[in-house]
Amino acid sequence: MTGYRKRIIGCICIKDGIAVQSIGFKDYLPLGNPITIAKNLQEWNVDEILFLNISPKADIDFKMIDKITSKINLPIQYSGAIRNSKDASQLISLGVDKIVLRSLFDISHQDEIFKIRDNIGKQSIVGSLPIAEKNKFFYYFDCNKRLSFRIDDKFKKKINILSNFFSEIIIMDYINDGGEKFNENLFKLFDLKCNIIPFGGIKYTQQAKNLLKKKFIDGIAIGNSLSFKENAIYLIKNSLKLND
């Protein structure tokens, strides 16, 4: 595979300051210090690290972010509790490369997205879209309210419009988070105006390989399976010869 280099993004879920293994964003098992986990991922040759703060109603721990960026020599994405352009700008000033909007990923916050884009640039903004398929229907998961609602045509139209304001969008399969297969039916829902990063249930090398071959995919985000398989990244990259 030559030309544009796609990325393998290691995801670290943080809950109450601790790195955790997430299972469907409902059950959690502690893993330890987020910085220690990040150092392991760096040694195992991930291309980027996504820190996903899933603490309910949490504030951004800027001190922890400062420690992370001073110790990790990889591009860093951060998601969680980003409420305005001031938060976004402060994260970038601390060395975060991209901010991932979750709670602001809503048409009612369009003006704030404009402010963030003007302050840090579209290339530094990623959208997070937690969706899933259940009983042949598709649902969006509201991370703040901790509830899901069925996706209709009106919602699809909003998302398609919003996708103009992001460099990439993470499609997060929240039902298969901690599982064994990302649901590729989720790609069919929207007509996004930017490239996609799938996340959730990507465990096996073959699916990772198939996903990375798709033209509209910039990279893949993997969480739990990287924490327990030191050679997982090597196997994926070797299968694709990403470093050629």
Q: 134-138 long-range contacts, Cβ below 8 Å, gap at least 24?
A: 134/175, 138/186, 138/189
Burial of 243 (0-12, 13-18, 19+ CB in 10 A): exposed
> What phi, psi does 222 have (nearest 5°)?
-130, 135
Spans of the chain below 70 pLDDT: 1-4, 24, 57, 144-146, 225-230, 240-244
Structural domain contains residue 1: no
CATH of the domain at 173: 3.20.20.70
SS3 (DSSP) at 78:
strand
Structural domain contains residue 189: yes
Structural domain contains residue 170: yes
Structural domain contains residue 120: yes
Structural domain contains residue 2: no
Structural domain contains residue 68: yes
Structural domain contains residue 225: yes
pLDDT at 123 (0 to 100): 96
pLDDT at 1 (0 to 100): 36
Q: How many domains does the chain have?
A: 1
* CA nearest to 233, candidates 40, 34, 14: 40
Question: 84-140 pLDDT, tens per residue?
Answer: 999 999 999 999 999 999 877 777 788 899 999 999 999 999 999 999 999 999 999
Structural domain contains residue 185: yes
- Host domain of residue 167: 7-240
pLDDT at 29 (0 to 100): 86
pLDDT at 243 (0 to 100): 45
